[in-house]
Amino acid sequence: MSDVLNKNFINGVWQDATAGAVFKDINPAIHSDVIGHFPESGVEDVDDAVRAARAAFRAWSKMPAPARGDILRRIGDILTERKSELAFQMTREMGKPFFETKGDVQEAIDTAYYAASETRRLFGHTVPSEMPNKFNMSIRRPIGVCGVITAWNFPVAVPTWKMFPALAAGNTVVFKPSEDAPHSGALLVKVFEDAGVPAGVVNLVHGSSTAGRALVEHPDVDAVSFTGSTETGSKIGEACGRLHKRFSLEMGGKNPMIVLADADLDLVLDGLLWGAFGTTGQRCTATSRLIVHEDVHDALVNKLIEAASKLTLGYGNEDSTEMGPVINQKGLDKIEYYVGVGKEEGATVALGGKRAVGNGLDDGYFYEPTIFTGVTPNMRIAKEEIFGPVLSVLKIRSYEEAIQVANNIQYGLSSAIYTRDIATAFNAMHDIEAGITYVNGPTIGAEAHMPFGGVKGTGNGHREGGWEVFEFYTETKTVYVDYSGKLQKAQIDNVED
Ligand code: UN1
């Protein structure tokens, strides 16, 4: 096998796509660095993978959950050993700096140990019966075969948010990573193999929308978990609705950071640089709107422009790099398009607004940290997701106005408020329409054991991470045990008048 793991993994065997088609995977910071060619899987490959997952389901689901937990713990151990090696390859493939990809692997490690610990709980309920000598309980059952379709920006963490709880609960998996991060996906699946996950329990199919659609529409896939664009998520939701499948969608965001007049501006500045420009703004949780009180607007914006203009852009595997490239040409085009829209709408480019060139950046998809000031709530750059290093600054005069502006979007993933006033902070926890609110921290940085997900157009009500994700990956079975030795009709069937 070459040093690049560029195959599908089906029923425990690394293999090419049946039709032999491939797609190219390059380093977004250095285009001449070709990582490899990966299988462009078709319907037959997906079918093989789903059949393998179905065949493996019975034995895996019957294994005692804590034994599955032992395997998850081994996965966590191997991820720990390989953290730097994996992070290097992830940075090479999707661009964010090495310190960030190490964090990405760490998130997977935390999720592995957390999911392993849940295998000793997976609680159901026991409740009193209406009848004597009768016992009522609910237990959790796995759903079956789960299709996992993910984005490239957290190429290890996000797939594991889905796969670890799915496996812990006794499901089997077919995983289709993003076509922009196939190598990271394969390296992750190699960890499953090396940890002793039985053949067929986790299968990998690379590819684009053809493979994705085949997975979603396959009659033997019981549930689909997706992270990615709103456009694709909507199509998946439609298909799953039609086919009566359970589905979890994690889509876009336009996450606000509210800064009130009493905020600690140095703390805000650190949070903004990280929230808006970490991962080159390519997180669904990225801080993309700064909603700032007029009393501190100018002071904060000036500090921010100065600090953001000093960020070092480059290849993420170089130590000096603070901000990596955008993922691909399409991503870059989208950013350029929205910067044009912002200018036309009358906002002011206070920093950036163009591709970053020179200093060794010409061979990559680099874009300057960009700040728009004078943004008003109904502009498109205040409402639509750009997925890049572009921050829209909106000025407000009161807490009430801040909340109105913050909620004036179709999305509702993450949010932040900076204030020293505890009552205002507690009000904001209820008033901001979002699945996540940070107080005095930026909009990014979820912890593995906490529920993660959004309201409104961001998702469909499910959560990843934490204990709530187990609701998605399990079915409730209700069990009645009658040990009275006679037919006891339920109260509803036993009414006398
Ligand atoms: C994503 O961008 O899809 O909370 C997930 C965060 C990260 C996860 C982001 N842990 O910012």
DSSP 177: -
Question: Would you put residue 287 in left (φ > 0), alpha (ψ -120 to 50) or beta?
Answer: beta
131 phi, psi to nearest 5 deg: -105, 155
The pTM assigned to this predicted structure is 0.97
Tell me the residue ranges of DSSP E strands in 268-356.
287-293, 348-351
* 125, containing H or E segment: strand 125-127
Distance 54 CA to ligand 1 centre (A): 30
Predicted local confidence at residue 106, as pLDDT: 98
Label residues 274-294 b or e (16+ Cβ within 10 Å = b): bbbbbbbbbbbbbbbbbbbbe
Distance 56 CA to ligand 1 centre (A): 31
Pocket-testing residue among 283, 413, 449, 469, ligand 1, by greatest number of atoms within 8 A of Cβ: 283
Predicted local confidence at residue 491, as pLDDT: 84
Distance CA 194, CA 74 (A): 9
Distance 446 CA to ligand 1 centre (A): 6
Amino acid at position 229, single letter: S
Residue 250 bears catalytic tag: yes
Residues sharing a CB contact under 8 Å with residue 7, sequence separation 6 or more, in sequence order? 14, 15, 16, 39, 186
Nearest to 97 by CA among 383, 392, 319: 319
Convert 72-123 into a string of H (helix), E (strand) and C (coil): HHHHHHHHHHCHHHHHHHHHHHHCCCHHHHHHHHHHHHHHHHHHHHHCCCCC
The catalytic residue among 40, 179, 240, 284 is 284
Residues sharing a CB contact under 8 Å with residue 486, sequence separation 6 or more, in sequence order? none
DSSP 367: B
Domains of the chain: 8-251+459-478 (3.40.605.10), 255-439 (3.40.309.10)
Pocket-testing residue among 249, 444, 458, 469, ligand 1, by greatest number of atoms within 8 A of Cβ: 444
| Average pLDDT, consecutive stretches of 10 residues, N- to C-terminus, the chain (497 residues) | 85 96 98 98 98 98 98 98 98 98 98 98 96 97 98 98 98 98 98 98 98 98 97 97 98 98 98 98 98 98 98 98 98 98 98 96 98 98 98 98 98 98 98 98 96 97 95 98 96 81
| 264: number of Cβ within 10 Å | 14
* 8 A C-beta contact, residue 54 and residue 173: no
Predicted local confidence at residue 2, as pLDDT: 55
Task: Report the residue count for the chain.
Answer: 497
The catalytic residue among 100, 250, 384, 433 is 250
Predicted local confidence at residue 374, as pLDDT: 98
| CA-nearest residue, atom 3 of ligand 1 | 284
Residue 179 bears catalytic tag: no
Predicted local confidence at residue 495, as pLDDT: 77
Lining ligand 1 with CB less than 6 A are 107, 153-154, 158, 227, 283-285, 444-446
Strands 34-39 and 416-418: unpaired
Nearest to 454 by CA among 467, 470, 443: 443
Distance 159 CA to ligand 1 centre (A): 12
